[in-house]
Amino acid sequence: ANKDLKWATVTSLEGAIEASFLNNKLGFELAGYKKSTKDMLLLLPVQGVFGLDAPRQNAGEVRNTGFDLSVFHNNVVNKDFRYDINFNLAYVHNELVDLKGTEGKEPGDGRDNFWFLEGYPIGSYYGYVQDGIFQTQEEIDNYYPMTWTAKPGDIRYKDLNGDKKITDADRTYLGSPMPTFTYGFGFMLGYKNFDLNVDFNGVSGNKILDLKKTVSWTTTNFYEKSLQRWHGEGTSNKEPILDKSRGHNYLSSTNLLENGSYLRLRNVQLGYTLPSSAISKLGISGLRVYVSGQNLLTFKHNTGYTPEIGGSALQGGMDQGDTYPLPSVYTVGLSINF
């Protein structure tokens, strides 16, 4: 045990401005921050004692810099028409500032798809960059030597370090599962006794690791993307041949990455409030009927059921085909005030 362990130290600098205009019909709030966490607990790759794992130590610093913005505007145009508009945006830049020389994956943790690099977000994707598909054996013979035996239909990886061979040294930062931007917007429209409320939310700037490609297809079906696979010269320059014996096609690379950005229609509600003259004889003060729908539409780029993939800060965004989609919910409601 390391008796010198201590709590991490967090320091933050924050500032904000809030303003409203036109009798509170228009306004905004902008907040910025810079937060640093030092002396994180890390499993350092130092020599263990008597073959045991290395002890955890206080080392490293991670920094989050960003801002939050919200804007609103509302107005009553006349006795029949009114509206309310809102928008919010959050930006964050996560960076591993210092790892005390411990760059790489934590020893023994098996995270082949994730890496910890100074200057990049924590838990970043790390791997090879795809440069097409080998179409012929002649093309393979004229390419750089690899640490595996390539065949037509296999992924061609880029030589990033310029040593004219394909090895682990050609791996690089591929992206982050953490969104750069998180946003939402909505509006309310009111016309006489009718009201319509609509809300959207979304994220941008994150990647998803499509590990559905790496599962065994012994007892399960293929995804539609497999129709784009290589099955002969010239048939595909993006998706490799379907052959699970060629494990080099399923290494962490840009071939497994998908765009995690999405925009979702989160909620829609249409309501009608009966006029007081119509309900005065019923002994109630208000009656409103409405219909609503949740998660009606999602505009996304990934092939999974949902773009919202969970996970931890160190190992997130992995779509292994076991993530359930958000259900669409339709509701008819009645609200009565006595």
pLDDT, one tens digit for every residue, the chain (338 residues): 677 788 889 999 999 999 999 999 999 999 999 999 998 876 555 444 455 555 667 778 899 999 999 999 999 999 999 999 999 999 999 998 887 766 555 433 444 688 778 889 988 999 999 999 999 999 999 999 999 999 999 999 999 999 999 999 999 999 999 999 999 999 999 999 999 999 999 999 999 999 888 876 666 677 888 899 999 999 999 999 998 889 999 999 999 999 999 999 999 999 999 988 888 778 788 899 999 999 999 999 998 889 999 888 778 899 988 888 889 999 999 999 88
C-alpha to C-alpha distances, 67 to 14, 59, 121, 201, 262, nearest whole angstrom: 9, 27, 17, 17, 20
Residue 127's DSSP bridge partners are 172
* Whole-number Å distance between alpha carbons of 122 and 125: 9
Q: pLDDT value at position 64? A: 96
Q: What is the pLDDT of residue 54?
A: 58
Cα 150 to Cα 2, 98, 156, 170, 249, distances in angstroms: 47, 38, 9, 16, 9
Judge whether 120 and 104 are in contact, CB under 8 Å: no
Locate 238 and state its tokens: 């993006």
User: Is residue 209 within a helix (H) or strand (E), and if so which, with residue range?
Assistant: strand 207-210
pLDDT at 299: 96
CA dihedral over 242, 246, 247, 249, signed as positive or negative:
negative
Q: What does DSSP assign to residue 313?
A: S
What confidence score (pLDDT) does residue 314 get? 76
Q: Amino acid identity of 237? A: N
DSSP line for 47-95: --STTPPPPEEE--EEEEEEEEEEEEEEEE-SSSEEEEEEEEEEEEEEE
Q: What is the pLDDT of residue 53?
A: 57
Picking from 172, 132, 174, 154, the residue whose alpha carbon sits closest to that of residue 258 is: 174
φ, ψ for residue 94 (rounded to 5)? Answer: -100, 135
Q: Does the pTM of the predicted model rise above 0.85?
A: yes
Per-residue pLDDT, 214: 83
CB contact set of 69 (below 8 Å; sequence gap of 6+): 28, 29, 30, 31, 88, 89, 90
Q: How many CA atoms lie within 13 A of 334 on its CB side?
A: 1
In the structure encoding, which two tokens stand for residue 74, read together? 């509302």
